[in-house]
Amino acid sequence: MAEGFDVVVLGGGPSGENAAARAAAAGLSVALVEHELLGGECSYWACVPSKALLRPGEALWLAKHTPGAREALKGPLVASAVLQHRDAMVGYYNDASQEKWAEGAKLTVVRGHGKLAGPRKVRVEAKDGSVRELEARRAVVLATGSRPRIPDIPGLREAKPWDNREGTGAKQVPRRLLVLGGGVVAVELAQAWRALGAEVTLVERGKALLGRFEPFVGEQVAQALRDDGVKVLFESEVASVSRPGGQGEATVKLKSGEELRGDALLVAMGRVPRTDALGVETVGLKPGAVVEVDDQLRAKGVEGGWLYACGDVNGRNLLTHMGKYQARLVGDVIAGKQVRAWADTKATPQVIFTHPQVASVGLTEARARKEGLPVRTVQYELGKVTGTSLLGKDLKGTAKLVVDEKRRIVVGATFTGPEVGEMLHAATIAVAGEVSLDTLWHAVPSFPTMSEVWLRLLETYGL
């Protein structure tokens, strides 16, 4: 006999946990199915450990720009201490605290690999081979996330490269690290391992890093990496990889004929949804593809409106906080509330935790123009703001607003510079709330903070 619940959630990462907790808070019975660690990718193999690796290097970088502090510096980072702190931040890869939280949230945790077995039915196979059959009276939520994409490059899979898991969880600092990719994971981990003492080479097939952001972002991050000693190669496409036995020295051959060698090889070239072993074919969906959803996160093409998908698995927005946003909405919709998701396509904030940091929300200038908006932009150098000068000597950065001239609202904002991630929420509120420029003029920034750049931007705009 199948065990009955109002809601069954597949995936115990940030999205799954939030969807489950929201539904349970509404009085529904919820089963949360997870085959690894409760807390998921972000907690153990992505967001949290990567930031634990990056923060010491950023703190040292800021100290080197601070008169009085820089003279007190006596050496490089102590890698063993950084790695120990990383392990502590991920709970030593133990999810006991998450399980306790789940119990407090009135969730029934089911351990094992769960997959759909037809409409409203879920089959869970535990590690010992035992099977539990679950049935959802109201809804099933898919929150299984994504996994790294390994391109079809000859020899790459056989080389057993690092992905984000090994890249954030390695126990030792490699002497030479090769990084394939030019996105967020690539630049963050390149800088983190360089700060810990590795010789790092980053290989990007395009002409710039971080191509989804404003052009100055990639330029400034590339220069920062080079200043740190990272070798950055552009327009460098990988032809093949050789690593006998998948261990020891890896050789990367570029199409130019150049060969690169490293003791570790990190692939950071995108992600794909975890739907290939999820049983989605039993309800008419395609394994390996994203689960397309409407703005209430219901799966399209599934009769009855009982199947939902939130987080990376639906392909709308591959950021942890936006997956959690979707998950909260899923819980509300299942509980009967009339809400819909829109921030994940219109007002998405993101921080890249390199030094300098990158913070953005909404549309870039290029995207806004592509959408046909009447665009005007304004830009100001963050280093000219008193608050930046007080934070450290010779610190720099850039702030840019993308304005819809017709509606006189900010539709996009990007900042680079020290700790700009903490300034981002003001921009997120402005974009999500469609706050007029005339109203923003009366939002007075405190002196002397870096946030005074908002005043300078509005003055430059002409208000």
380-435: pLDDT as tens digits: 999 999 999 999 999 999 999 999 999 999 999 999 999 999 999 999 999 999 99
- Distance CA(71)–CA(79), nearest Å, equals 21
CATH number listed for the domain at residues 157-269: 3.50.50.60
Q: What average pLDDT does this structure show over 31-37?
A: 98
Which strands, in side-by-side order, build the sheet including 259-262?
238-242, 250-254, 259-262
- Is 357:419 a contact under the CB 8 Å cutoff? yes
Q: Which CATH class is domain 3-39+95-147+272-344?
A: alpha beta
Q: Is the pLDDT reported for residue 1 higher than 90?
A: no
Domains 3-39+95-147+272-344 and 157-269 are alike in CATH topology: yes
CATH number listed for the domain at residues 356-461: 3.30.390.30
* Beta-sheet pairing, 146-148 with 271-273: antiparallel
Query: Which backbone phi and psi does 383 adopt, to 5 degrees?
Result: -65, -15
Which pLDDT band, with edges at 50, 70 and 90, does 153 fall under? very high
Structure tokens at 24: 């349970």
The predicted structure's pLDDT at residue 57 = 97
415-424: pLDDT as tens digits: 999 999 999 9
- Distance CA(324)–CA(184), nearest Å, equals 20
List the chain domain ranges: 3-39+95-147+272-344, 157-269, 356-461
Which pLDDT band, with edges at 50, 70 and 90, does 323 fall under? very high
pTM listed for this prediction: 0.95
